Amino acid sequence: MIGGVMTVTILGSGTSTGVPVPGCSCAVCTSEDPQNARTRCSVLLSRGGKNILIDTSTDLRQQVLREKVSHIDAVLYTHTHADHIHGIDDLRSFNMISGQAIPIFGSPETLAVIRRNFGYIFDDELEPGYRPRLETREIDGPFDLFGLTVEPLTLQHGSGVSLGYRVGSFAYLVDCNAVPDETLTRLRNIETLVIDALRFRPHTTHFNIAQALELADRLGARRTFLTHLSHDVDHARHAALLPPGVALAYDGQRIEVDPTG
């Protein structure tokens, strides 16, 4: 479908510390394999000249420079852990070039935390120019964005919640350790899944690799990419052990998906 394809760029495939972990001298952190270098978790959805960013990771600046991103048209937030929001100030560069405010979407709770943590951005008493220009848009169900239907998906993330997002046959599910039944029904007929799979051992707030594989299998996803990876995962060694149709995500990876299916 020429023109209809949506490109998903893995901006960051790493857990909250990034990989290498500062100070760590383990085999993965000292590896020379570029696919073991993981910035904080984020993706860019591109279609028809529009770029939709999911989360503003701590590493946003280096991610958009690396991928030569020229504009950001909207941001979708999953939740407010630091690794997913702390790059927010770098949206300012895109405001300066476009002269436009950027709409940012999230649950009412997420947007309230962002307004509180980054009060200077939303303080109209302050001079413009030294802060991003953002317009908050609360999500309360599926919505249209640049001709795409974006469906928010409630996920369990430890004692809290995060939002996954479905666009057509693609779903992005990060920072979760369980998927409520109501969300499972919204994931029917998914073809491409990018999913949290922190490490091999269990974790209280993230799926481990076995749990992510089980969910991908249950959903019948044709292609699954594991992300939010820690330094327990060695790209070359562990990618070879995954079942058919499953791969480790890596920074800079591009995946083409059908945004209407």
Q: Which positions lie near Zn ion, rule CB under 5 A?
A: 16, 21, 24, 26, 29, 81, 83, 175, 231
Task: Closer to Zn ion by CB, 26 or 101: give it.
Answer: 26
Query: H or E stretch including 226?
Result: strand 223-227
Shortest spacing between CB 47 and Zn ion, in angstroms = 25
CA distance 202 to 179: 16
CA distance 28 to 258: 34
Cβ count within 10 A of residue 197: 30
Shortest spacing between CB 6 and Zn ion, in angstroms = 23
Task: Closer to Zn ion by CB, 9 or 230: give it.
Answer: 230
Shortest spacing between CB 124 and Zn ion, in angstroms = 30
Shortest spacing between CB 175 and Zn ion, in angstroms = 4
Report DSSP letters for 175-221, one per residue. Answer: S-SB--HHHHHHTTT--EEEEE---SS--SSS--HHHHHHHHHHHT-
Task: Closer to Zn ion by CB, 73 or 83: give it.
Answer: 83
**Residue 5 CA, distance from chain mean position:** 19
Task: Closer to Zn ion by CB, 81 or 235: give it.
Answer: 81
How far are the Cα atoms of 111, 169, 219 from residue 188, in angstroms, in the given order? 28, 9, 7
Task: Closer to Zn ion by CB, 24 or 178: give it.
Answer: 24
Shortest spacing between CB 235 and Zn ion, in angstroms = 13
Q: Of 94, 69, 78, nearest to 11 (Cα)?
A: 69
CA distance 222 to 138: 32
